[in-house]
Structure 1
Amino acid sequence: MSFDREALIAACAARGVVARIVVASVAGSAPRETGASMLVWRDGQSGTIGGGALEHSATLAARDALTPGHRDLSRHALGPDLGQCCGGAVQVLTEVYDEASARALPEDVIMRGPGAAPLAVTRLRARIRTGQPVQTMLTGSWFIEPVSRPDRAVWIWGAGHVGRALVQVLAPLPGTDVTWVDTAADRFPEHVPNGVTAVPAAEPALMVAHAPPHAEHLIVTFSHSLDLELCHRLLAHGFDFAGLIGSATKRTRFHKRLAALGHGPQSIARITCPIGQPGLGRDPQAIAIGVAAQMLQTAGSDTRPLKDSA
């Protein structure tokens, strides 16, 4: 887990003053791991540190202390203190930010605590200068978190009902950067979630050239001809995953058409169709849940276009 600096800045810009609550350490059994965090403001919240009594107590305490600069590190024995069935204990760090203080945070590793930095923190700073990775940890009363950077690029082609459901499910996933493409600005909803870049493009297929070769693609447009063009270009461009909405009949037809465009069977087989878990149903939200589960279970593959023998 790492510090989502951009999400904090966005929340402060929208809400004014925001408390960030993070699990700083875990001993024994607990609902969430070290680094799990949530944001809390006067009349709302996002994220979770595990739900139940711990989260409820931490949320109420944070709302009572919404003053920028506030910091509190507290320890909770989950059974004796909160009546939770987990047998462990956690330390929870609550810090309150406004937009200015959030933007002032470092962009690589955030290290903070009371008083002078202990020797362990000084050594960590030396490691950072040499480019060594740093893990989330609590040392004494100082808490260290690397700043998160998206490591999963997801491109969603189409802003219809299924595309919108996919965005709502995939955008909150940690480390995920979503690019959302459709033919015009009015195809997108008024509110686009944080971490999502909406790209209106009169000719969406031309945007394939701008996608990272390791990106994951979900093709859910309103047009079969556009779907085919996207598949054709992606097979030449390279990807980690490409999923096409449709039926087994559509898959068969597309395989024939892509073969006619010069793609070999090994390349064409890399396009997943249908996507998701058909047994969940055809409702857009059910499709999105199935697709998300499928993608989370899919390991990265060779991103280079495959060269088929004729």
Structure 2
Amino acid sequence: MNWISALADLQQRGEAAVLVTIIEERGSTPRNAGSKMVVSAEKLYDTIGGGHLEYKAQQIAREMLEQRSREPRLERFSLGASLGQCCGGATVLLFEPMGQPQAHIAVFGAGHVGRALVPLLASLPCKVSWIDSREAEFPESIPAGVEKVLNDEVVDEVENMPAGSYFIVMTHNHALDLELTAAILKCNDFAYFGLIGSDTKRAKFEHRLRDRGFASETVQRMRCPMGIAEVKGKLPVEIAVSIAGEVIATYNATFGQEKASGENSVAKLLPVSRRAPPAESGA
């Protein structure tokens, strides 16, 4: 598969990749400027000439994928001196993250609020895992970029989410909500955790979590009720908009901090080389 077909296929499936382009060539090089390849977490599509250069480019691209980098990156390579290739020339590569989600979101619950919320999240630069044990609750059509996860033991899915993930819990069962809450707080490596319900539900959960030994500062990280308070209403779509707004505000705040730090910015490299009300489970 050539790079453009591969990129379209990966983006359709919501899978992140890095587009690598030769933007400058000096002397003898294996391929000309403009040549491209696409690197996903597991595969390589097309080529920039093979050899050690391509191997190093794959390493850099996969490091960017692991770090969920969102900024382009430039790297200069001397083919003879540093890479031991017989060409002997030099080349500059541009690494561009493609389809890299700004957030990994786990939505637990495929009830009426979940069905209103997931399409909203799917339209954002996020990777969404939609989790429930009830096959019949999922709609026939799942939005593009959303992974439907059917598991009788939904709590097990907490450990499958990467650090820094966003958790939204809105199942049909209070007891299940509590077990999910305990599992999420035990990991305590999330960017956001929202639990649907009322202030009364929160107070009950806080008491039960303290009995289980959870520290107060850890429990305080739980958003319940979740969502933007100014967005009123009890319709599923109103609740969904409120929750989505809070999630967006959270990852926008995080993204802004990363931008301010200047990590992986092209400008930094150029001189060298060129951020609710009760519903599904009630109060």
Same fold (TM over 0.5): yes
Distance 2:12 2:72 in 1: 26
**2:223 is equivalent to residue 272 of structure 1:** yes
CA contact (8 A) 1:5 1:148 kept: no
**2:161 is equivalent to residue 196 of structure 1:** no
> What code does the residue aligned with 2:109 have?
G
Deviation at 1:7, TM superposition (A): 8.5
1:134 equivalent in structure 2: 72
Distance 1:170 1:248 in 2: 25
2:179 equivalent in structure 1: 229
1:109 equivalent in structure 2: 19
1:161 equivalent in structure 2: 112
> What code does the residue aligned with 1:280 have?
K
SS in 1 for 2:128: strand
Deviation at 1:277, TM superposition (A): 2.4
CA contact (8 A) 1:5 1:147 kept: no
Match of 1:172 among 123, 126, 134: 123
Deviation at 1:300, TM superposition (A): 4.6
SS in 2 for 1:109: strand
CA contact (8 A) 2:19 2:95 kept: yes
2:201 equivalent in structure 1: 250
CA contact (8 A) 1:108 1:147 kept: yes
Query: TM-score normalised to the size of structure 1?
Result: 0.54
Distance 1:288 1:264 in 2: 30
Which gives a bigger RCO, structure 1 or 2 (Cα 8 Å, sep 6+)? 2
Match of 2:166 among 216, 220, 240: 216
Deviation at 1:170, TM superposition (A): 0.4
> Residues 5 and 248 (structure 1 numbering): CA distance in 2 closer, same or farther, change over 3 Å?
farther
**2:240 is equivalent to residue 288 of structure 1:** yes
Distance 2:236 2:179 in 1: 23
Q: CA RMSD in A?
A: 3.7
> What code does the residue aligned with 1:277 have?
I
Deviation at 1:149, TM superposition (A): 2.1
2:132 equivalent in structure 1: 182
Query: What is the identity percentage for the equivalent residue pairs of Structure 1 and Structure 2?
Result: 32
> Residues 11 and 264 (structure 1 numbering): CA distance in 2 closer, same or farther, change over 3 Å?
closer
**2:101 is equivalent to residue 150 of structure 1:** yes
Deviation at 1:145, TM superposition (A): 5.4
Deviation at 1:166, TM superposition (A): 1.2
> What code does the residue aligned with 1:285 have?
V
Post-superposition, which runs of at least 4 consecutive aligned residues in structure 1 deviate over 6 A?
4-7, 10-13, 117-121, 123-126
Q: C-alpha offsets along residues 111-167 of structure 1, whole Å, 9 cap, x if unaligned? A: 59xxxx7769949989x94949637xxxxxxx9954222241100000001111110
Query: TM-score normalised to the size of structure 2?
Result: 0.59
> Residues 11 and 213 (structure 1 numbering): CA distance in 2 closer, same or farther, change over 3 Å?
closer
CA contact (8 A) 2:17 2:100 kept: no
Distance 2:220 2:95 in 1: 44
Distance 2:33 2:239 in 1: 49
Q: Which sits farther off after the overlay, 232-241 or 267-276?
A: 232-241
CA contact (8 A) 2:113 2:239 kept: yes
Q: Which runs of 5+ in 2 are unaligned?
A: 27-31, 37-52, 65-70, 74-93, 256-283
The number of aligned residues is: 196
